[in-house]
Amino acid sequence: MHIPDGFISPTTYLPATVIAIPLLMVAFKKTKEAINDESFAFLSSLTAFSFVVMMFNIPIPGGTSGHAIGAAILAILFGPWVAAFCLSLTLFIQALVFGDGGLSVFAVNSLAMGFVASFTAFYVHKLLKNRVNNNIAFFLAGWSGIVAASVVVAVALGIQPLLGVDAVGHPIYFPFDLSVTLPAVVGSHLLFFGVVEGFATMLVLKFIEKITNQNLNKEVLV
């Protein structure tokens, strides 16, 4: 889902930057407040996990690409602000070092895969927690987060033909409109990438729960 440079017009990424900067400042502050020496290593390892899974991009016809994010895992364990900051930092490093996503459109990627995915996953899990089976809550949190992010990406790409055309009427930026981007990007995440994200979220969180419970039992026995 990383949007590269040249796909998005300044009339899209400049307002996104204006919105993203204060959000990132708040997220950075909340991350500093939430993290201590004991949790830093754990958060770093989960952020590295998100970094790795986001590097496996699968091309989507009529869109950009699809991949897992890991947003729900971070959001459920550390809160949506911390998750959004860590994912945004990951996206920035990927764009700067690996050219995966554009620097000019970093704010759009950050808002979609950092903030929208994290907050959606967090509140879906909060809504479902203690109401449905834990596995289902984890799965739907992961699935909904990445699908919500895909909607933002699909809309950002799909409106580009309306924002700039050349002398003969061809789009200057991304060439496909919403009739293509919504089914291509959102549809693929609804049916495939969201399912992968949901299962990954469920498996990782269940594993962490198991390890945590084992450690608690050991402490009680001691």
Quote the CA–CA distance of 204 and 2 in Å, as a whole number: 23
Quote the CA–CA distance of 160 and 179 in Å, as a whole number: 12
Q: Above 70 in pLDDT, residue 155?
A: yes
Those residues with Cβ within 8 angstroms of residue 38's Cβ, 6 or more apart along the chain or in another chain: none
| CATH numeric code, 10-221 | 1.10.1760.20
Domain coordinates in residue numbering, the chain = 10-221
Report residue 55 as tokens.
């590097």
Q: Letter for the amino acid at 142?
A: G
For the chain, the average pLDDT equals 90
Q: What was the pLDDT predicted at 219?
A: 52
Q: Above 90 in pLDDT, residue 110?
A: yes
Q: What was the pLDDT predicted at 209?
A: 85
Query: In the chain, which ranges are continuous DSSP H helix?
Result: 10-34, 37-54, 71-78, 80-93, 106-109, 117-128, 134-158, 178-181, 187-188, 194-221
Quote the CA–CA distance of 116 and 129 in Å, as a whole number: 20
- The tens digit of pLDDT for each residue in 27-86 reads 999 999 988 878 888 899 899 988 888 887 777 765 567 788 999 999 999 999 999 999
